Amino acid sequence: MSSLRNHRVIIASLFLPTTAVPGESSPPTPDIYAREVGTTAATQDLGGRPPAFKHASSRSIGSTPAPLKSIVDDLKSRAITPITTPPSELNPFSKFASLAPSPAGKGSISPSSIRNMDVSLAKFQPDPLHPIRLQRRSSSKPPRYPTRSYSSTSSEPYYFAPNIHCNGGLKNAVDSVKERMTNKLWVGTLGSSTDAYNTELKASIDRRMKESHSSLPVWIPDAEFESCYDEFCHQVLWPCLHYAVPDAPKTKLFFESAAFKQYAAVNKRFAEAIESIWTEGDVVWINDYHLMLLPLLLRQSTRVPALASATIGFFMHVAFPSSEIFRCLSVREHLLRGMLGADLVGFQTASYARHFRQTVSRILAVEALPKGIQVGFLPRSDVEYGIPGGAREGHGRFVDVGIFPMGIDVGALRERRREPDVSYWVQLLRQRYAGMMIVVGRDKLDEIQGVRHKLEAFELFLKKWPEYQGKVILLQVALQTTESNELAAGGVSDVVARINSAFSTLTYQPVVFLHTQEVTFSQYLALLTVADAFLVTSLREGMALRTHEFVECQDGRHRPLILSEFTGSYSYSGFRSCIAVNPYDTHGTAKAIHQALTMSDEEALSRWEDLHNHVVTQTAQTFVISFLTRCLRANTEHTIQTDLNSVPALNTTLLLPRYKHSSRRILLLDFEGTLWRPDMSRAGLLAPFVPPEGAVELLNKFSANQRNEVWLLSGLPIKSLEQVAAKAPGVGIVAENGCFAKIPVQNGKGGVWISMVANLNLTWKGLCVEILNYFTERTPGSFVEEREASVVWRFWTGPTDDCADRQWARRQAAEAQNHIFDSLGERYGLRIIPGSNSFLVLPNNISRSTAVGAILHPGGPAHSPRSSSMPDLDVPVSGGGGDVGFVFAVGSDEKLLRRLNELDNAETVSTSGKGTDAKWKLDAGDAGNMMWLFANSP
C-alpha cells in the first residue's frame, strides 16, 4: 500500500459520497438527517445499484411513541398489506419505550442521545430502497429531487450532506484506508436535479466540494441523466447483468434502447471531467456498470494524449452473466470494448470473471486467457454514439482480469457495536420478543432479491412444522420503494397478508415487515445480534455484504446463516459453512429454516468460525489495497517495457572488456530462439530431437574457460536435453522452463538432474491431457506434448499468416486455456504460458526466473560449485555476491531479464524483437555469431 502514497487515486462512481442539498445552510434535524443520509454495505448488497430517487419519510422514528393501542387494534393494523410505509405505531421499535425501563434511567440511553450518535455515524446507516423496473410508467416516476429555482444572491443557498444514492460499500471501503490513501478525488454526480443551477452556483459547489470533500461534481442535464439512469441502466443493463432478460415483445426497450445515446453521453461527460484534472501518476478507478464505456474513452483521449498510458482500473460491483445472456444486448460490443480500455478489470467472484473472459472471446473474437484479455486491433468506430474507434486501444495490449471480493470494515463495525445505543436496542428487542425465535432478513423489494421466495418458504415452514407457530417470527427489513404497486406486482404484499391472516393470533404475528427508513443502523445491528438465523434468498447478487455484518454481529451467539447459492459470497470457501439454499426450491428453503432453528450450539459454533475467518480476512481494506496495487502492477507490466527502437543494440566494444577482465562469469543463455532456431512445422516438431552441432560447439567453447559457468535455459523435456548434456557435460541445463535443472560436471562431480517439482502433485497432467485431447479433435493439425512436469498444446503448426483456420485455432486455444484454468488451475496450483502457436501448462511458482534465482543463491551451484542440490526457489537474486563479477544473460524471457536487471554486475540482452526492459537488444539471427565473439575471448 505504500506505493499508493505516491499516487493520487481518482475514484469515478455515478454518485458522489457527498451531495449539495438546496436550502438553508443548516442541516435538518438530527433524527431525520441520520435516517435519510445513511449508507451502509447494503448498497453494495444490491450490486452497487443506487436507489431510485425518492425522499425518505419526514417522520421522526426515534421520537417519543404514541401510547400503545390494545393488542387487538395493534394486530388489526398490522394485518394491513405493507404497500405503503406503515405508520409509526406499527414499528415494533416504537413500542419499546413502554416495554422497557426508561431510557433516561441509570445505564440507559435517551432517544435523543441515540439520535445524536446516529448522526455522527451516519455512514453506517441502511440505505433506502431502489426498485428495478423492467417497464416503468412515466407517470409514476418520481423526480430526483423537487425542482427549485436558485439564484446567486445568497452566498450559500445549499448545504452539504451524505449522498443517499452513493455506493455505500465502496465509500466505506475507501474510508477504511483513508489513513493510508490520503490523496484521493471522487468524481461523480450529486444525485439531484441540477438544471436550475446557474453557472455561479455550480462554480461555488465545485470549489467547496473539492476543498471540503475531495470531490469533483459532474454536471449532467436532468433529461440526459434520467434517460441514461432510469432507462438504460435500470431497464437494460441491470436486468441483463442479473439474468432477468425479459421475453420479447414484452419490452422492446431491452433489445432496442435509444437511451444508449444518453448512456454514452454521460460516460463522455465523466471522461471530460477526468481529463480536466488528471495528472501524470494518477490512478483512475472506475466503478460499476454505469460507466462501462469510460475506460476506453479515457484511453483514447485526444485532449490528453498521455492518458493512453495512464493507470486505469475498472471494477464491476454487480454480477456478470454468461455470454448467452450478455449477447442479447444490441450494444454488447461497445460495452465490452469500453471495459477493455482499462489495465485491470475486476470482479467479485471467479465465475463472473470467467463469464467476462468467455463473453469477450466469443463476441469480440479476441484471445481470452486465464489472466486476462489479449486485445487486438478493434478498428470499428462508433461515431453515432460519440465513441471513438481505431487502433489506439492498443494492438497487442493485455488487459488483466482479476478477482477482488469486497468485504466490510470489521474494526469500524466492532466499534459501533460496542456503543451503548446498540446494547439498549438489543435489550429492548429481547424483551419485546421474549420466548420467540427471530429470523431476520434485509433485502430490496424486487424480484431479483427473492423476497417473495423467502416469504413463501417461511409460510411452508410454518405449515410443515406447526409446532413453531407462535414461536418463530420473520422480521423482514425492506429497502423502500418508489411505487406502491411494485410490492403488489412482485406478489410480496399478497404473501405477507396471506401468512399473517393464516397464522396470526391475538399475541402473535408471524411476519413483521419494516422499511429501511424506520430502522436506524443501531437498531439494525441489534436485530443482527438477537437474530436466531439470517435468511438471504437472492436470485442473483454480486456480494451480500449484509451477511458479513450478520456474522460479525453474531460474535458470542454464533447462530447460523441461510444463504442463497446464487450470491457472490457463497462462491468463497469460507462461506460454504452457511446453510446453502436454492431460492427456487421452496421446500429446500423451508427445511433450511428448520435446520437453522434446531441446530446444536456445537455445530453452529463450528460453522460460524469458518464464516468469521473469511469475514475478518477478506475485509474492505484488503479489497481496496489488493485492487489498486494490482492495477498499478498491471499498468507497469504492460507499459514499462521500453520501445525497441530506444533500446541500444548490443555493443561488444563496451562489454567485451568487462567480460575479459572478470575473474568469474556466469552465462545464462536461452536455447530455443537464441542459440537454436527449431523447425516449427508439424513435421519438424514431431521429428526426433537432434542437438544442433553449432550450438553444442559454442557451449563447449564457453565451458572450456575455467572462469565461465554456463547455464542453458530451455523449455524442452529432459529426454531431449540429455543428448545436449552428453555432448556438453560442463554446461548446466534448466529443462521444462524451470521444472528441472542439471548441475554442470566440474572436477568429476555434478551432472545430476534435480527436480524443482519433487514435492508437487502432478496428477493434474492426466486430466489436462484429457481436456486437450477433446480440443485436439476439433482443431485440425493440433497435437499435445506431455512432458515430465508440464504439458504443451501445439494448436497451430501451419503458415504464420492470420488465415481463418489460424483464427479458429486461436479461439479454440483460448477456450482450452480457460477450461483448464477454471477446472484445474486453482485446485492444483497451475499457470498457463501462452505463445503465438502453442501454450504451456505447468505448476505455479515454477519458471526460468525462479530456477535462475536458485542458481544464483549463495547456497546454490553458482556460488558453491560442489553443491549437488538446489536451495529454496522463493529467494531473491543475489548473483552480485561472492566472487561472481559478470552475469551475462541472453534470451527472450522478459521476466527473467527484468529480474536480473536488479544486479549491478548483470548485462541483459533481449532477442525477442519486441519492447523490452533489457539493457541491450540483439537480433536472434545474429545471436550465434555474437556469442562466438565472447567465447573466443580469454
Q: For residue range 598-619, list pLDDT tens digits in order.
A: 999 999 999 999 999 999 999 9
Q: For residue range 636-647, list pLDDT tens digits in order.
A: 877 655 566 778
- 395-401 mean pLDDT: 79
User: Which phi and psi (to 5°) does residue 646 adopt?
Assistant: -90, -5
Instruction: Among 144-153, 537-546, 762-771, name the most confident range.
Output: 762-771
User: Which phi and psi (to 5°) does residue 12 adopt?
Assistant: -95, 120
Q: Where is pLDDT greater, at 156 or 238?
A: 238
pLDDT value at 801 more than 90: no
Neighbours of 107 (CB within 10 A): 10
Confidence at residue 404, expressed as pLDDT on a 0 to 100 scale: 95
Instruction: Name the pLDDT band for 60 (thresholds 50, 70, 90).
Output: very low
Q: What are the residues whose beta carbons fall under 8 Å from the beta carbon of 344, sequence distance 6 or more?
A: 312, 313, 314, 399, 400, 401, 402, 627, 630, 631, 634, 635
Dump the DSSP string for 709-762.
EEEEE--S-HHHHHHHHHH-TTSEEEEGGGTEEEPPPBTTB---EEES-TTS--
**Least confident range of 53-57, 161-165, 325-329, 845-849:** 53-57
Dump the DSSP string for 343-365.
SEEEESSHHHHHHHHHHHHHHH-
How far is it, in rounded angstroms, from Cα 706 to Cα 664? 8
pLDDT value at 802 more than 50: yes
**Least confident range of 406-415, 565-574, 618-627:** 565-574
Confidence at residue 639, expressed as pLDDT on a 0 to 100 scale: 66
Instruction: Name the pLDDT band for 255 (thresholds 50, 70, 90).
Output: low
**Which neighbouring-strand residues pair with 508?**
505
Q: For residue range 98-111, list pLDDT tens digits in order.
A: 444 434 333 333 44
Dump the DSSP string for 422-461.
HHHHHHHHHHHTTT-EEEEEEEESSGGGTHHHHHHHHHHH
Confidence at residue 573, expressed as pLDDT on a 0 to 100 scale: 79
Cell of 913: 524483437
**Least confident range of 144-148, 208-212, 834-838:** 144-148
Cell of 337: 470494448
What b-and-e string marks burial along 198-208, b requiring 16 or more CB atoms within 10 Å of the CB?
eeebeebbeee
Largest CA distance in the chain: 106
**Least confident range of 122-126, 350-354, 493-497:** 122-126
**Least confident range of 40-54, 87-101, 693-707:** 40-54
What is the 8-class DSSP label of residue 123? Answer: G
Q: Is the dihedral of CA 594, 597, 599, 600 positive or negative?
A: negative
Q: Are 293 and 14 in contact (CB under 8 A)?
A: no
Q: Where is pLDDT greater, at 480 or 5?
A: 5
- 228-255 mean pLDDT: 76
Confidence at residue 123, expressed as pLDDT on a 0 to 100 scale: 35
pLDDT value at 629 more than 90: yes
- 709-715 mean pLDDT: 94
Q: For residue range 725-760, list pLDDT tens digits in order.
A: 999 999 999 999 999 999 888 777 767 899 989 889
pLDDT value at 564 more than 90: yes
Confidence at residue 931, expressed as pLDDT on a 0 to 100 scale: 93
**Least confident range of 281-295, 343-357, 874-888:** 874-888
Q: Where is pLDDT greater, at 53 or 327?
A: 327
| Helices 111-120 and 420-432, packing angle to 10 deg | 130
Confidence at residue 856, expressed as pLDDT on a 0 to 100 scale: 83
Confidence at residue 94, expressed as pLDDT on a 0 to 100 scale: 56
Instruction: Name the pLDDT band for 403 (thresholds 50, 70, 90).
Output: very high
Q: What are the residues whose beta carbons fall under 8 Å from the beta carbon of 148, sequence distance 6 or more?
A: 22, 196
Of 385, 362, 931, give the one whose Cα is nearest residue 652: 931
Confidence at residue 145, expressed as pLDDT on a 0 to 100 scale: 38
Confidence at residue 89, expressed as pLDDT on a 0 to 100 scale: 38
Residue indicated by cell numbers 459470497: 569
pLDDT value at 792 more than 60: yes
Instruction: Name the pLDDT band for 139 (thresholds 50, 70, 90).
Output: very low
Instruction: Name the pLDDT band for 861 (thresholds 50, 70, 90).
Output: low
How far is it, in rounded angstroms, from Cα 559 to Cα 596? 8
Alpha carbons within 13 angstroms on the beta-carbon side of residue 528 total: 25
What b-and-e string marks burial along 821-852, b requiring 16 or more CB atoms within 10 Å of the CB?
bbebbeebebbbbbeebbbbbbbeebbbbbbb
How far is it, in rounded angstroms, from Cα 493 to Cα 82? 6
**Least confident range of 79-83, 421-425, 703-707:** 79-83
Q: Are 127 and 40 in contact (CB under 8 A)?
A: yes
pLDDT value at 633 more than 80: yes
* CA separation, residue 238 to residues 19, 127, 254, 297, 531 (Å): 24, 18, 10, 22, 31
How far is it, in rounded angstroms, from Cα 314 to Cα 317? 10
Instruction: Name the pLDDT band for 790 (thresholds 50, 70, 90).
Output: very high
How far is it, in rounded angstroms, from Cα 190 to Cα 217? 7
Q: Are 75 and 506 in contact (CB under 8 A)?
A: yes
Q: Compute the mean pLDDT over every residue in the chain, rounded to the nearest whole number.
A: 80
Confidence at residue 682, expressed as pLDDT on a 0 to 100 scale: 86
The SS3 assignment for 6 reads helix
Instruction: Name the pLDDT band for 252 (thresholds 50, 70, 90).
Output: low
- 30-45 mean pLDDT: 39
Q: For residue range 876-895, list pLDDT tens digits in order.
A: 444 444 567 899 999 988 88
Distance of CA 233 to the CA centre of its chain: 20
Q: Is the dihedral of CA 741, 747, 749, 752 positive or negative?
A: positive
pLDDT value at 287 more than 80: yes
Q: For residue range 488-505, list pLDDT tens digits in order.
A: 445 788 899 999 999 999
**Least confident range of 124-138, 517-531, 705-719, 834-848:** 124-138
Q: Give the predicted TM-score (pTM) of the model.
A: 0.72
How far is it, in rounded angstroms, from Cα 589 to Cα 584? 8
How far is it, in rounded angstroms, from Cα 389 to Cα 366? 16
Q: For residue range 302-347, list pLDDT tens digits in order.
A: 999 999 999 999 999 999 999 889 988 889 999 999 999 999 999 9
Alpha carbons within 13 angstroms on the beta-carbon side of residue 120 total: 9
